[in-house]
């Protein structure tokens, strides 16, 4: 007898593994301290910029006197000293200078992330505060993020990219613990020419160097809007470091100097400020001469120009002045020289060869930066922003001879009414050609009146539109194509009779995507009313628009409550999409629901000091069959509805359920997160069902040659099907099933189906095993089944307590009995006998086992072992009056 061998483990030494590090490993790997103990700058603590969300909770509990004493100290370099382990728990620091890593402002680093690959960022600030928290690092680091192509929204306009190419985000920053930093990395401007790859992947481009820690940055990106900008990383880094030399007090820890000023946003700022200035000029009651007289009266024969008491800075010093206090995404100009002409545009070519025509953007075209702000006046908060972009600059003599009394000019008089501010240059990033076209298309869809809503281009939803390739693989058989068209699994691109609901869902989602905000949308309706199909049609249209760069890109995730083993599994499905995990290539993540929940909470809350990447794009989640995700604690539903309320989450949740009163059955905290944005789908009427069936049959005939198209269902047969289904449930899926079964039976005969043929099909479908069983049940057995379904809808869960079921049964005895039915209410023992009969036939299942036997009888759980929709339809067909009575009770 052979002895089984111990299976060997395959070595991974030669495999190309990606660099991944967890925050806990980073904490144990190094000890962090400041390279120079003396801080560069100290100011009072600013809770908005200096603290994490968890820090603010501790901060809010302090007294006012304690808050006033808190300080923030800023540094420019930190040192990570590695530790050496001895045994299992003993660690020892290595001698100073032996093995340590130094991180400075402006260094590009790899940051630990919950994703498969670490994130890439540049360090823009370092500080520590006097706010102490137990077992929490006091040191803080603000980083400005880069985006990998894989971290961008999955539904967007595609473009070629290099294997090691990354994009500089416009204004995405985060506060991290130093322990989240893994190591240094190299980011260069990049000079490679984009060429299509010969591999099967369409968008992968050959790069100059295939090194994991070396990257090239050719463009800046606004990932929320999917807009790319020409960008010079080396020049931008030099400008930001130079601007840091003379920061104002309020600019420390903000990282504003590292933000990119986009040309489209700059034009919007200039236009808004100019319009505001015009309105202020029209409504002003004091003419400019009055400003001159008041100025003369105050200053007398002295210098008429109101100047600060501090010495005037020279031109070289003024160019290093700080950014404005408002967050306007500015880039500092290195050496502005006053000129008497309008500011010129600085143009720099980065590459000589153009990219392929099929690429989304042209990374080899020239990079343009526009210099603004050369005015002789000191830049104000709002007014001087317009002056810098529209007024010519003054000469050098006007800057240095201000001490001599002169006749005031109009321009000088305006300076008396503005608050003096330090001036600095501005470099404005130009969008790429394809991004310019996208901005133009989006601007055309924005109405001039603020009261009007933005309208987006959308396909017509008034007619049935089947996918073009739905009939390509079928022969020219009208019966076969008609059966394929009326199949419930055939989803057309456009849905008839749901135009108004389509517009409501479409406008709600597109508005949230356009605003970049999160929100919840609740869609209710009985089964078979087109809820999921309408949402799918909306998502297809939004995907088409995002692919054409007509709306903001987004990531899409669909969670069906009937397809997951337990409600908590929804966390892992959402995290796979949010983290950019490729399920088709790598399979599902092997993570527990608890780990996924922790990662999602950290991601939507801003990282919590551990890093999550920029995460600046929207994510749309469809939670279908929400009834199946409901639990006793309702914690899963609460988390999904709570994340969209977090500022900056950009999560849009579309919840679909079969019951209208599901929000009323939720707890108060869940209902408050859901909001009041609900859309109800009414059951289909007779005319609507007729239109749906005719539209599908006409679509099948349209795909055939004209000589082979024929009528397969008469008008009277279609009308009879519609009347029968609308009187029972209004379920379009059941009407399509009847049509398909009728076509199957009539195909061998080769004639059109008439009303009698449809009646026979309906009678045959009513003889299903479930319907046959229910017809043989007693009245009280059917009432108990109806009571169980009622409790399931009310509670939102499948498991119902036996006491609640018995109570509902007694209520339904009065509501469902009529005519010659007995009206006497059964006793407790009789209810127990009815339940035992249903359990014996496996129509219901009662909780058993040692744990269940210890419970009180009324606390034991009961579940339905039959298909709920089949039971409802069978009960309604047996007694047509039950439909209205069950709905009213």
- The residue length of the chain stands at 889
Same fold, 23-251 and 498-681: no
DSSP 514-581: HHT--EEEEEEE-TTSSHHHHHHHHHHHHHHHHHTTSS--EEEEEEETTSSSSTTHHHHHHHHHHTT-
CB atoms within 10 A of CB 599: 23
- pLDDT score of 380 more than 60: no
Interior/surface letters 297-336, b for 16+ CB within 10 angstroms, e for the rest: eeeeeeebbeeeeeeebeeeebbbbbbbeeebbbbbbeeb
pLDDT at 213: 76
pLDDT at 308: 37
CATH of 498-681, one of 3.30.1330.10, 2.40.40.20, 3.30.350.10, 3.40.50.300: 3.40.50.300
- pLDDT score of 453 more than 70: no
pLDDT at 57: 80
**Sequence-distant (≥ 6) Cβ neighbours of residue 345 within 8 angstroms:** 368, 369, 370, 371
DSSP type of residue 310: S
CA atoms within 13 A on the CB side of 67: 13
- pLDDT score of 362 more than 90: no
Confidence of residue 192 (pLDDT cuts 50, 70, 90): low
Per-chain mean pLDDT for the chain: 74
- In three-state form (DSSP H/G/I as H, E/B as E, the rest C), the secondary structure along 273-286 is HHHHHHHHHHHCCC
What is d(CA 790, CA 798) in angstroms, rounded to the nearest whole number?
11
Asked whether the whole model's pTM tops 0.85, one would answer: no
Lowest-confidence segment of 598-607, 615-624, 676-685 by average pLDDT: 598-607
> Terminal CA-to-CA distance of the chain, rounded, Å?
71
Topology classification of domain 23-251 = SH3 type barrels. (2.30.30)
What is d(CA 137, CA 142) in angstroms, rounded to the nearest whole number?
14
**Sequence-distant (≥ 6) Cβ neighbours of residue 443 within 8 angstroms:** none
Per the listing, tokens 């469902």 go with 816
Confidence of residue 630 (pLDDT cuts 50, 70, 90): confident
756: left (phi over 0), alpha (psi -120 to 50) or beta: alpha
pLDDT tens per residue across span 214-262: 898 989 999 889 999 988 999 999 999 998 888 888 888 888 899 998 8
**Sequence-distant (≥ 6) Cβ neighbours of residue 379 within 8 angstroms:** 324, 373, 385, 388, 421, 422, 423, 424
| % of the chain at pLDDT higher than 90 | 26
Per the listing, tokens 């790598």 go with 586
Confidence of residue 433 (pLDDT cuts 50, 70, 90): confident
Confidence of residue 703 (pLDDT cuts 50, 70, 90): confident
pLDDT at 633: 83
Q: In Å, how far from its chain's centre is CA 690? A: 38
User: Which top CATH class is 776-888?
Assistant: mainly alpha
Tell me the backbone φ, ψ of residue 88, rounded to 5 degrees.
-85, -40
Tell me the backbone φ, ψ of residue 568, rounded to 5 degrees.
-70, -15
- pLDDT score of 652 more than 50: yes
Interior/surface letters 790-818, b for 16+ CB within 10 angstroms, e for the rest: bbbbbbbbbbbbbebbbebbeebbeebbe
pLDDT tens per residue across span 304-340: 333 333 333 433 434 334 433 444 333 333 444 444 4
Lowest-confidence segment of 24-28, 72-76, 78-82, 747-751 by average pLDDT: 24-28
Q: What is the mean pLDDT of residues 840-845?
A: 90
Confidence of residue 885 (pLDDT cuts 50, 70, 90): low
Between 380 and 513, the more confident residue is 513
**CA nearest to 32, candidates 91, 74, 93:** 93
**Sequence-distant (≥ 6) Cβ neighbours of residue 275 within 8 angstroms:** none
pLDDT tens per residue across span 722-732: 999 998 888 89
pLDDT tens per residue across span 777-818: 998 999 999 999 888 877 767 888 899 999 999 988 888 887
Confidence of residue 574 (pLDDT cuts 50, 70, 90): very high
pLDDT at 458: 53
What is d(CA 463, CA 630) in angstroms, rounded to the nearest whole number?
36
DSSP type of residue 827: -
What is d(CA 830, CA 811) in angstroms, rounded to the nearest whole number?
15
What is d(CA 379, CA 21) in angstroms, rounded to the nearest whole number?
45
Please tell me whether residue 160 adopts helix, strand or coil conformation: coil
Question: Can you give the residue ranges of every domain in the chain?
Answer: 23-251, 498-681, 776-888
**Mean pLDDT: which of 378-392, 411-425, 762-776 is highest?**
762-776
Tell me the backbone φ, ψ of residue 878, rounded to 5 degrees.
-70, -45
Tell me if 579 sits within 8 A of 115, measured CB to CB.
yes
- pLDDT score of 7 more than 80: no
Confidence of residue 473 (pLDDT cuts 50, 70, 90): confident
- pLDDT score of 713 more than 70: yes
**Mean pLDDT: which of 277-281, 609-613, 633-637 is highest?**
633-637
Between 640 and 370, the more confident residue is 640
Tell me if 768 sits within 8 A of 870, measured CB to CB.
yes
**Sequence-distant (≥ 6) Cβ neighbours of residue 13 within 8 angstroms:** none
Tell me if 171 sits within 8 A of 240, measured CB to CB.
no
Interior/surface letters 195-204, b for 16+ CB within 10 angstroms, e for the rest: eeeeeeeeeb
């Amino acid at each position: 007898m052979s002895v089984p061998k111990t299976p060997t483990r395959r070595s991974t030494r030669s495999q190309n593994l990606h660099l991944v590090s967890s925050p806990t490993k980073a904490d144990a790997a190094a000890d962090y301290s400041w390279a120079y103990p003396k801080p560069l700058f100290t100011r009072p603590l600013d809770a908005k910029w200096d603290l994490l969300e968890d820090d603010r909770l501790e901060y809010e509990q302090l007294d006012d006197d304690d808050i006033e004493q808190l300080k923030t100290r800023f540094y420019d370099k930190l040192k990570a000293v590695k530790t050496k382990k001895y045994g299992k728990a003993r660690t020892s620091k290595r001698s100073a200078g032996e093995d340590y890593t130094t991180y400075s402002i402006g260094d590009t680093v790899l940051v630990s992330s919950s994703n498969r690959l670490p994130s890439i960022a540049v360090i823009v600030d370092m500080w520590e505060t006097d706010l102490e928290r137990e077992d929490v690092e006091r040191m803080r680091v603000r980083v400005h993020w880069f985006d990998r192509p894989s971290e961008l929204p999955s539904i967007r306009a595609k473009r070629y990219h290099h294997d090691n190419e990354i994009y500089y985000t416009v204004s995405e920053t985060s506060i991290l613990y130093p322990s989240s930093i893994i190591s240094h990395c190299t980011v260069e401007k990049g000079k490679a020419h984009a060429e299509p790859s010969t591999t099967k992947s369409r968008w992968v481009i050959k790069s100059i160097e295939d090194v994991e820690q070396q990257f090239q940055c050719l463009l800046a990106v606004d990932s929320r809007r999917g807009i790319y900008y020409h960008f010079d990383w080396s020049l931008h880094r030099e400008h930001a470091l130079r601007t840091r030399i003379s920061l104002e007090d309020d600019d420390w820890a903000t990282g504003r100097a590292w933000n990119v000023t986009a040309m489209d946003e700059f034009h919007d700022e200039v236009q808004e400020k100019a319009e505001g200035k015009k309105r202020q000029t029209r409504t002003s009651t004091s003419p400019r001469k009055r400003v001159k007289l008041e100025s003369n009266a105050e200053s007398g024969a002295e210098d008429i120009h109101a100047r600060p008491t501090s010495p005037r800075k020279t031109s070289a010093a003024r160019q290093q002045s700080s950014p404005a206090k408002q967050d306007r995404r500015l880039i500092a100009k290195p050496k502005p020289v006053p000129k008497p002409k309008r500011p010129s545009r600085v143009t720099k070519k980065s590459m000589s060869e153009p990219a392929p025509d099929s690429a989304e953007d042209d990374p080899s075209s020239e990079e343009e930066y526009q210099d603004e702000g050369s005015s002789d006046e000191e830049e104000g908060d709002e007014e001087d922003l317009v002056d810098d972009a529209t007024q010519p600059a003054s000469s050098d003599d006007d800057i240095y001879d201000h001490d001599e009394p002169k006749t005031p000019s109009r321009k000088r008089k305006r300076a008396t009414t503005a608050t003096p501010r330090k001036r600095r240059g501005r470099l404005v990033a130009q969008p790429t050609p394809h991004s310019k076209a996208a901005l133009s298309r989006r601007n055309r869809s924005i109405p001039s009146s603020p009261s009007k809503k933005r309208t987006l281009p959308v396909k017509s939803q008034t007619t049935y539109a089947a996918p073009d390739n739905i009939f390509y693989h079928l022969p020219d058989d009208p019966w076969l194509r008609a059966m394929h068209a009326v199949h419930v699994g055939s989803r057309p691109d456009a849905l008839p009779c749901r135009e108004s609901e389509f517009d409501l869902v479409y406008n709600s989602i597109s508005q949230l995507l356009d605003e970049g905000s999160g929100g919840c949308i609740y869609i209710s309706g009985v089964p078979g009313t087109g809820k999921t199909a309408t949402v799918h049609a909306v998502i297809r249209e939004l995907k088409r628009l995002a692919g054409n760069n007509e709306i903001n890109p987004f990531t899409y995730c669909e969670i069906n409550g009937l397809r997951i083993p337990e409600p908590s599994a929804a966390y892992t499905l959402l995290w796979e999409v949010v983290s950019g995990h490729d399920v088709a290539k790598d399979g599902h993540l092997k993570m527990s629901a608890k780990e996924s929940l922790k990662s999602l909470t950290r991601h939507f809350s801003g990282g919590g000091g551990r890093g999550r990447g920029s995460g600046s794009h929207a994510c749309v989640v469809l939670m279908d069959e929400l009834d199946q995700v409901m639990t006793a604690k309702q914690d899963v539903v609460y988390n999904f509805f709570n994340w969209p309320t977090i500022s900056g989450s950009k999560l849009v949740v579309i919840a679909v359920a079969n019951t209208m009163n599901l929000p009323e059955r939720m707890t108060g905290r869940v209902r408050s997160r859901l909001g009041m944005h609900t859309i109800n789908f009414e059951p289909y009427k007779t005319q609507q069902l007729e239109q749906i069936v005719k539209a599908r049959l006409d679509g099948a005939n349209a795909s055939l040659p004209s000589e082979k198209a024929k009528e397969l269902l008469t008008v009277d047969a279609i009308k009879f099907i519609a009347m029968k289904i609308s009187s029972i449930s209004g379920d379009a899926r059941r009407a399509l099933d009847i049509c398909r079964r009728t076509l199957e039976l009539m195909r061998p005969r080769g004639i059109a189906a008439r009303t009698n043929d449809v009646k026979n099909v309906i009678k045959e479908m009513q003889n299903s095993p479930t319907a046959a069983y229910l017809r043989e049940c007693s009245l009280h057995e059917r009432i108990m089944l109806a009571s169980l379904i009622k409790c399931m809808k009310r509670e939102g869960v499948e498991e119902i307590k036996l006491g609640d079921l018995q109570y509902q049964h007694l209520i339904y005895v009065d509501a469902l009995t009529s005519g010659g039915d007995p009206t006497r209410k059964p006793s407790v023992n009789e209810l127990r006998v009815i339940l035992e009969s249903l359990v014996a036939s496996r129509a219901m299942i009662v909780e058993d086992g040692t744990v269940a036997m210890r419970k009180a009888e009324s606390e034991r759980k009961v579940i339905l072992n039959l298909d709920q929709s089949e039971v409802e339809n069978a009960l309604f067909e047996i007694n047509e009056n039950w439909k209205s009575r069950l709905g009213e009770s």
